[in-house]
Amino acid sequence: MLLTGTLKREAGNKMGQKPKIAIFGGGTGLSVLLRGLKHKPVDITAIVTVADDGGSSGRLRNELKIPPPGDIRNVLAALSDVEPLVEDLFQHRFNKGNDLTGHSLGNLILAAMTNITGDFFHAVTEMSKVLNVRGKVLPAANASVVLHAEMEDGRVVSGESTIPEYGQRIKRVFLTPEHIDPLPETIDVIREADLIIIGPGSLYTSILPNLLVPKIGEEVVKAPAKKVYICNVMTQPGETLHYTAADHVKALNQHMGCGFIDTILVNSEDIPDEIKRKYEMESARPVDFDIEELKAMGLEVIRDQIVTYKNDVIRHDTHKVASLLVDLLKE
């Protein structure tokens, strides 16, 4: 399966084309990764979830009946090549005014552009031009979706922002409406990719909502490109409490109906005790990277020091991870 991707890549490189990378995710993790990857000689397409229903995004989604713009806004900002002041303006969040409080200017601009252009996809495309985005940003669908989780106790909880608050182990997640069309551009990107990256990001509320859009998951599974999962460094309360790295992969496989990940990227660095204590207060702990089990599942395991710390918050080291991913294209 990977041979086809290799041949495609060699043919493309001979023609002077940049290798094509498709990245699935949402939230902070995806934006952090893209800030490093945009400086590499690769053709990036970020496919971003449209299941968000909290905060400014949720308000605009409900009031204007548009897909939630927040995750898209963060990705556009991460891939932008503009003066820092312009990016700061796009990311500015109002803290005064009854109706404006909590809204980000970028969300409002995307909402206005959706109204002007007639649909969300074209709004994102036009904003990409304004922000001089390096690469492409595609919403997973051109309409809002609602994320639901069936818990192990049998209850179904609805809403991306509500699911982690329930506090029970998740059995599976699914989307409504069931019949929603992916963008044709997304399908083309998946088929033409030389490398498909999944994560980092919240497993059930950022990553899987992309893959569960009809046809997207199927296309990812059968795509010839190598699929790389960037595993989270810490567990997430309400989503992946006590999960090992293998548990993360098993959840992806269960939802796709088969094993489809080729490579997993995990952290090899011990987390400082003071940072672990801070995360423990929020019921989060370092993910156990059970290397032997991952290998037994047929995965190539790449371990490296891939984290940084800022204000006691753990983030993936954007430049280190980007370099490791580009190295995979050379194999």
How does pLDDT run across 20-78, given as a tens digit for each residue?
999 998 888 899 999 999 999 999 999 999 999 999 999 999 999 999 999 999 999 99
pLDDT higher than threshold 70 for residue 4: no
With CA atoms as reference, report the closest residue to 113 among 101, 99, 123: 123
Q: Where are the domains of the chain?
A: 2-49+174-329, 53-135
Cβ atoms of 203 and 244 closer than 8 Å: no
pLDDT higher than threshold 60 for residue 10: no
Task: Give tens-digit pLDDT for 258-287.
Answer: 999 999 999 998 999 999 999 999 999 999
Residues 6+ apart with CB under 8 A from 136: 44, 45, 46, 128, 185, 189
Task: Give tens-digit pLDDT for 274-322.
Answer: 999 999 999 999 999 999 999 999 999 999 999 999 888 999 999 999 9
With CA atoms as reference, report the closest residue to 235 among 317, 164, 158: 164
Predicted confidence at residue 1, as pLDDT, reads 45
Question: Taking the model in full, what pTM does it have?
Answer: 0.93
Cβ atoms of 225 and 22 closer than 8 Å: yes
5 pLDDT tier (thresholds 50, 70, 90): low
Cβ atoms within 10 Å, residue 274: 9
3 pLDDT tier (thresholds 50, 70, 90): very low
Predicted confidence at residue 97, as pLDDT, reads 79
Task: Give tens-digit pLDDT for 159-189.
Answer: 999 999 998 899 999 999 998 999 999 999 9
Residues 6+ apart with CB under 8 A from 226: 2, 5, 195, 196, 262, 263, 328
CATH number at 2-49+174-329 = 3.40.50.10680
| Residue 241 in tokens | 């409490």
d(CA 24, CA 13): 23
pLDDT higher than threshold 50 for residue 247: yes
Tell me the HSE value of 22 on the side-chain side, using a 13 A CA sphere: 26
What rounded mean pLDDT belongs to the chain?
A: 93
Instruction: Locate all alpha helices (DSSP H) within the chain, ordered by sequence.
Output: 2-14, 27-37, 55-64, 70-79, 84-91, 105-117, 120-130, 163-166, 184-192, 208-211, 216-222, 245-256, 273-280, 291-296, 318-329
DSSP SS3 for 3: helix
Summarize the confidence of residues 103-111 as an average pLDDT.
96
